[in-house]
């Protein structure tokens, strides 16, 4: 599903725009779809990289707040 | 009469402190230069002339009383228009934010620079909401490169690059989320400092990507970067990531030279997808610094991809309401990226943030064996203003997202970088990144200062 060559970005964009209330006009659509295609291509590099379930995301919440 | 717009900040401050020139004359000369050139260059969007002259007069009055003056006395500076300036609307390069009320106070860094004696001249043009590497802006006009006005400044801190390169300010402040200080520094032939993530306060700036946003100075000399950084550094309770406390000042060790510094080139990813001049610039700097070996940031291409995805999703989250309510009021080049970003799955974001921690841990290992790492700042020198594509390694790629391919993996993990300008025998300048471990801004500045003293790198003021 995340392979840009397999994703129909036009259908994806139309569906998501309807579901999320996004303004996808005929004028905007070509560049939105082009940007989606780039995102689908690039994210594959992230999703393909194996990390353990325990991998911690970079931002870390501090219960006491961030003290300057 | 001497033209003080040609002088670097530290020379101006020395002259003001010694009484060789008044702060008022320096400010007046800069304001006159802005009046002459800004219609063409579109560097400034707001000019705070009366504030500047009042501030300059106050500095001159302190000197007249025989009291000592601070390190940046009389130095004209200006800030990207995402910094709050008391009395100005913080437009952040947008049309929409102009509906906001004017700021009631200055951003922390504006306050700190003024406390060090600097004189604010105004606010600078930028790519809309900082989502940009070109310096183009559909609302305020494109900021143009003073060294060749047919070419772009780079962005998103485009006005920050244009103003410093043209002598319309001695020091400018920009922001850098994925490269927006380093790209205009490279394209405009300037020195730029992107500090460590959290190294300088972002309080009072309009955000872009909270988990990646940095702020820092651009200038025509390394010493000016150091003086500005020292004036601005220090924790700020108003910025939750600027908590590291006060590191040692970077100006005193500036002349320590490069002896003992372990310097390497970045291999792999950073040796591809650029024009020959980008790599020739790194060769020149590496030879001068005696950097013979290379190190590799592992999986740097994935780091760039992860930063790209985080940027799309966080950016779209920030503009969630605006993109739905007022899409026609966005710069089209920004709007279409934000709409696409709003459609991306949440698991992509989390995966990217997990990869970020992995990449950080691997990258930090490199600093066990080296102090500084050299890499190109941009894949090419300044493209033409309206240029949409360029060819890198045989691939035709869009300019706008790809000017930052060498900067993006580095800011992704918050490493401090000084960009230094190399001037080929002919043509436009191009920058080299000097990358240090977190908190080691002083080492990168030392090497940059040494290169400047050897005339390997230098900033050239556009006439």
A46 at B interface, C-beta within 8 A: yes
Active site residue ranges of B? 80, 156, 180
A58 at B interface, C-beta within 8 A: yes
Low pLDDT (below 70) residues in chain B: 245-246
**Domains held by chain B: number:** 1
Biggest CA pair distance of chain A: 49
- C-alpha B356/C-alpha B310 separation (Å) is 10
Nearest chain A residue to B321, by CA: A22
B147-183 as b/e: b if 16+ CB within 10 A: bebebbbbbbbbbbbbbbbbbbbbbbbbbbbbbbbbb
- The whole-number pLDDT of residue B55 equals 98
| Beta strands at B76-80 and B119-124: parallel, antiparallel or unpaired | parallel
With CB atoms and an 8 Å threshold, state whether B353 touches A68: no
B294-319 as b/e: b if 16+ CB within 10 A: bbbbebbbbbbbbbbbbbbbbbbebb
Asked whether the beta carbons of B207 and B247 are under 8 A apart, the reply is no
What strands lie across the sheet with B171-176, from one edge to the other? B44-47, B119-124, B76-80, B171-176, B214-219, B191-194, B417-422, B430-436, B372-376, B263-266, B294-295
With CB atoms and an 8 Å threshold, state whether B340 touches A35: yes
Residue among B299, B309, B340 whose CB faces A32 most closely: B340
Which contiguous run of DSSP H or E holds residue B402?
Answer: helix B399-402
Residue among B243, B306, B355 whose CB faces A66 most closely: B243
Nearest chain B residue to A58, by CA: B357
User: Model pTM?
Assistant: 0.97
- The whole-number pLDDT of residue B292 equals 85
Report the CATH number that the domain containing residue B54 is assigned in CATH.
3.90.1300.10
For the cut 80, the answer to whether the pLDDT of residue A6 exceeds it is: no
For the cut 70, the answer to whether the pLDDT of residue A3 exceeds it is: no
Residue for token pair 């739905």: B324
Segment A1-23 shows an average pLDDT of 84
For the cut 70, the answer to whether the pLDDT of residue A4 exceeds it is: no
Structure token digits, residue B244: 């590291």
pLDDT digits (tens, 9 = 90+) for B226-245: 999 999 999 999 999 998 76
With CB atoms and an 8 Å threshold, state whether A55 touches B358: yes
End-to-end CA distance of chain A: 44
pLDDT digits (tens, 9 = 90+) for A19-52: 999 999 999 999 999 999 999 999 999 999 999 9
**Cα dihedral B29→B32→B37→B38 (10° resolution):** 110
- C-alpha B224/C-alpha A49 separation (Å) is 42
Residue among B324, B350, B353 whose CB faces A21 most closely: B324
Residue B8: domain span: 4-453
| Domain residue ranges in chain A | 9-47
With CB atoms and an 8 Å threshold, state whether B339 touches A32: yes
Does any domain span residue B458? no
Min distance B276 CA to chain A CA atoms (Å): 25
Q: Taking CB atoms and an 8 Å cutoff, what residues of chain B touch A19? A: none
Asked whether the beta carbons of B188 and B151 are under 8 A apart, the reply is no
With CB atoms and an 8 Å threshold, state whether B305 touches A43: yes
Does any domain span residue B459? no
Does any domain span residue B463? no
Nearest chain A residue to B397, by CA: A38
Does any domain span residue B428? yes
DSSP B247: P
Q: How far is CA B113 from CA A32, B217, B285, in A?
A: 41, 11, 31
Which distant-in-sequence residues (6+ apart) come within 8 Å of B360 by Cβ?
A: A58, B413, B414
- C-alpha B196/C-alpha B417 separation (Å) is 8
**Strand spans (E) along B354-452:** 372-376, 389-392, 395-398, 417-422, 430-436
With CB atoms and an 8 Å threshold, state whether A55 touches B354: yes
Min distance A55 CA to chain B CA atoms (Å): 6
In DSSP notation, B327-370 reads GGGS-HHHHHHHHHHTTS-HHHHHHHHHHHHHHHHHHHHHTTT-
- The whole-number pLDDT of residue A1 equals 47
Structure token digits, residue A59: 């931002």
- From the centroid of its chain, how far is CA B131? 14
């Amino acid at each position: 599903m995340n392979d840009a060559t397999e994703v129909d970005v036009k259908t994806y964009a139309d569906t998501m725009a309807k579901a999320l209330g996004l303004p996808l006009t005929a004028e905007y659509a070509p560049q939105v779809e082009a940007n989606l295609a780039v995102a689908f291509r690039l994210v594959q590099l992230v999703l393909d990289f194996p990390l353990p379930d325990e991998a911690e995301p970079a931002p870390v919440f501090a219960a006491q707040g961030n003290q300057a | 009469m001497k033209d003080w717009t040609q002088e670097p900040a530290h020379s101006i401050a020395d002259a003001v402190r010694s009484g060789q020139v008044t702060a008022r004359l320096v400010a007046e000369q800069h304001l006159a230069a802005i009046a002459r050139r800004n219609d063409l260059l579109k560097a400034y969007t707001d000019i705070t002339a009366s504030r500047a002259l009042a501030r300059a007069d106050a500095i001159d009055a302190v000197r007249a009383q025989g009291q000592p003056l601070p390190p940046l006395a009389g130095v004209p500076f200006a800030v990207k228009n995402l910094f709050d300036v008391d009395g100005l609307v913080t437009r952040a390069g947008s049309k929409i934010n102009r509906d906001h009320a004017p700021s009631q106070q200055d951003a922390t860094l504006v306050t700190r620079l003024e406390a060090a004696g600097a004189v604010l001249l105004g606010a600078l043009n930028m790519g809309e909401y900082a989502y940009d590497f070109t310096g183009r802006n559909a609302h305020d006009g494109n900021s143009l490169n003073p060294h060749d006005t047919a070419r772009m400044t780079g962005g998103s801190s485009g006005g920050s690059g244009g103003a410093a390169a043209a002598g319309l300010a001695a020091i400018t402040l920009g922001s850098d989320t994925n490269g927006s200080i380093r790209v205009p520094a490279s394209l405009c032939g300037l020195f730029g400092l992107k500090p460590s993530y959290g190294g300088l306060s972002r309080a009072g700036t309009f955000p872009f990507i909270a988990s990646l946003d940095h702020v820092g100075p651009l200038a025509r000399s390394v010493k000016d970067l150091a003086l500005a950084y020292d004036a601005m550094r220090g924790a700020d309770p108003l910025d939750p990531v600027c908590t590291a406390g006060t590191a040692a000042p970077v100006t005193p060790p500036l002349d320590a030279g490069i002896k003992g510094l372990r310097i390497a080139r970045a291999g792999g990813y950073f040796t591809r997808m650029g024009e020959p001049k980008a790599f020739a610039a790194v060769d020149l700097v590496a030879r001068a610094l005696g950097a013979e070996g290379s190190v590799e940031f592992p999986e740097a291409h994935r780091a760039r991809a992860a930063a790209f995805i985080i940027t799309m999703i966080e950016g779209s989250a920030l503009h969630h309401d605006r993109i739905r309510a007022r899409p026609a009021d966005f710069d089209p080049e920004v709007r279409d990226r934000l709409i696409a970003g709003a459609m991306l799955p949440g698991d992509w974001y989390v995966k990217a943030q997990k990869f970020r921690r992995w990449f950080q841990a691997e990258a930090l290992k490199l600093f066990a064996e080296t102090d500084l790492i050299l890499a190109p700042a941009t894949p090419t020198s300044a493209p033409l203003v309206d240029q949409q594509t360029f060819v890198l390694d045989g691939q035709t790629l869009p300019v706008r997202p790809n000017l930052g391919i060498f900067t993006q993996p580095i800011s992704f993990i918050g490493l401090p970088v000084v960009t230094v300008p190399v001037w080929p025998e002919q043509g436009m300048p191009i920058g080299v990144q000097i990358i240090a471990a977190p908190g080691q801004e002083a080492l990168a500045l030392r090497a940059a200062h040494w290169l400047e003293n050897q005339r390997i790198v230098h900033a050239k003021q556009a006439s």
